[in-house]
Amino acid sequence: MPVPRNVAERAKALREEIERHNHAYYVLDAPTVPDAEYDRLFRELQEIEAAHPELRTADSPTQRVGGRPLPEFAPVRHAVPMLSIRTETDTGPEGARNFDARVRRALGLGEGAPAVEYAAELKFDGLAVSLRYEDGVLVRAATRGDGETGEDVTQNVRTIHCVPLRLRGESPALLEVRGEVYMSRPDFERYNARQREQGRPTLVNPRNGAAGSVRQLDPKVAAERPLSFYAYGVGECGGWGVPGRHSALLDALEAFGVPVCEHRTVARGAEALIAFHARILALRDALPFDIDGVVYKVNALDLQKELGFVSREPRWAVAHKYPAEEETTEVLGIEVQVGRTGKLTPVAHLKPVFVGGVTVTNATLHNEDEVRRKDVRVGDTVIVRRAGDVIPEVVAVVRERRPREVEQAKPWSLAEAVGNECPACRSAIARADGEADWRCTAGLYCLAQRKQAVLHFASRRALDIEGLGEKLVDQLVERKGVESVADLYDPARINAATLADLERMGEKSAQNIVAAIERSKSATLARLIYALGIRNVGEATAKDLARHFGSMTDLMAADVEALQRVPDVGPVVAESIAGFFGEAHNQQVIRRLLQNIRLHRVEEGGPVAVLQGLTFVLTGTLPRLTREEAGALIEAAGGRVSGSVSKKTDYVVAGAEAGTKLDKARALGVRVIDEDGLRRLLGQ
């Protein structure tokens, strides 16, 4: 029985609409419909395809959920080999100069000849794949393999939401897109946190997570992994006038709806390459994904052809790397540290190793389950990772280098290591059902927690009590009897005279501390909430809570159900908050704090509320304010600061050398203002 025409047309319309929403959400970061509406459209398409299987097409969004498990991966021979590129060993500026000099020599260019034009882009730390589109529809995805032959991973790649199942616009008869599957750091951390909560294995690092996910024989497992994709070139093409420059080629792929990283440029000559290398290095820690360098390619495709290959590597491209973020070293010991929330964290003492630009001697092991899963033991050779400001961590053991006596030793146990007692106060330790962490049961009476609570309370992003560092807090707790953060505002306990007799403190320093404490008495509600050190409540959640409730009284009175009405607050966070405010001791401390601290509350009106409900994005260099200062002014006035531009952005505040965020704002029609415009909005 033929499918009714109206049903077939509805299925086609649903496929197109859902893919438009997918592109907006996963590629443009600009959602176009609420989740509930998207789910309704998706379910409707599933129901139609279930009733009429003949309508289920290869480019249907329903095919992203993962098919049947495969017995093995079928081999795929690449029509155009997927060759690797040469790595420049010099990670400094000379690396770019060396490459440019080789290119100029190979092209026969003398000293007076014009600079060579290059395309510069990022070197992603993921898994290289090839996507084959025929008449605009994704028909096959394959890994690089040995460059000549890869593996068919089509079912797994279909589960990556940012990979288009059908190209946009008039697409070529044949287009093979080359790119990198990767896992962003935030997605990696969220995935591992969820796995830990469920007592399931975690991923070693984002790169291994991406590579392992693409090569899962069960596509449903791959569908659970938060993968992304960026294109960086093409392979076999047919029925398409390929652009003459690599930069234009990437622009064309982006127009087809294929994700292409915004951090790319056209650079003329070695010095421009050096500037790009330095700019990305400065940006590296802020990127949401891992890179291990940048890539330079001669931009003109005819010159690429002229330069050709040597030893199966293109003469026209090079990878200019950054210092390694992973190295191997030896575990000298495992110590247990107590955090400000009472969490007991195993820390590996390491043979010093230079990684990520610094010498590392300690690395976190997260919790006992992680130590056991990785089977880390004293004497092991381990892989240590440090990226940016992230705390160094042990990611894996090099088992083949384990000494025999270490192999014969018992696996490490936290409870045995500390004798079932808190290392800081000798109180009992406990581990709740379903939790991965051991905790000290002494709460605020634990010396380690008390010090850390005060340090966190005084930190720059909390109440910002300048000068109240670790050495001074140690003395305040041990010699002045500071038992809670409220004691900081007790003039009988903390004053210039009592501070002056402490080590490394004179009269002037004591007066500065007292002045800093006095300044901290004027604070935003969000800062105070964050300063309390509530488990699972970071800066962003503290701001959301402050916006939603508007006062500490209303927040303290909220139950779990009311707390879950706050954006991004789920059951676990809500339980943490409710449990914190349910403790009589915490209520007493907060009441004492509120007697001394004057809060800027949104409901008080005036300049505090002028930006309520508005979202801002900051880009470029402002003439008088740093981005942090501008962001603080916006948030103090009730506004929200976002890191990316979308249709939900109300204003982009642009300064000198504004980048792609400004371009995206103009493309989306978002209002753009300068620092003076921001000050006018603030009423300054």
Residues with catalytic function: 123
Q: How far is CA 171 from the centre of its chain?
A: 33
CA distance 99 to 102: 5
CA distance 500 to 314: 68
| Amino acid type, 412 | W
**Which 3 state secondary structure label does DSSP give 334?**
strand
CA distance 122 to 258: 16
Long-range contacts of 271-276 (CB under 8 A, 24+ apart): 272/115, 272/118, 272/120, 273/96, 273/99, 273/100, 273/118, 273/120, 273/320, 274/93, 274/96, 274/97, 276/120
- Measured from the Cβ of residue 516, the count of other Cβ atoms closer than 10 Å reads 16
384 within 8 A of 325, measured Cβ to Cβ? no
Phi, psi of 126 (to 5 degrees): -145, -135
In angstroms, the Cα distances linking 539 to 465, 528, 532, 536, 628 are: 17, 10, 11, 10, 14
Q: How far is CA 458 from the centre of its chain?
A: 26
Query: What tokens does 195 get?
Result: 């796995």
Nearest to 30 by CA among 613, 648, 667, 661: 648
CA distance 461 to 531: 8
CA distance 632 to 530: 14
Phi, psi of 646 (to 5 degrees): -145, 180
DSSP string, 37-91: HHHHHHHHHHHHHHH-GGG--TT-GGGGG--SPPSSPPEEE-SS-----PEES--
130 within 8 A of 144, measured Cβ to Cβ? yes
CA distance 140 to 157: 9
In angstroms, the Cα distances linking 480 to 448, 487, 501 are: 16, 10, 11
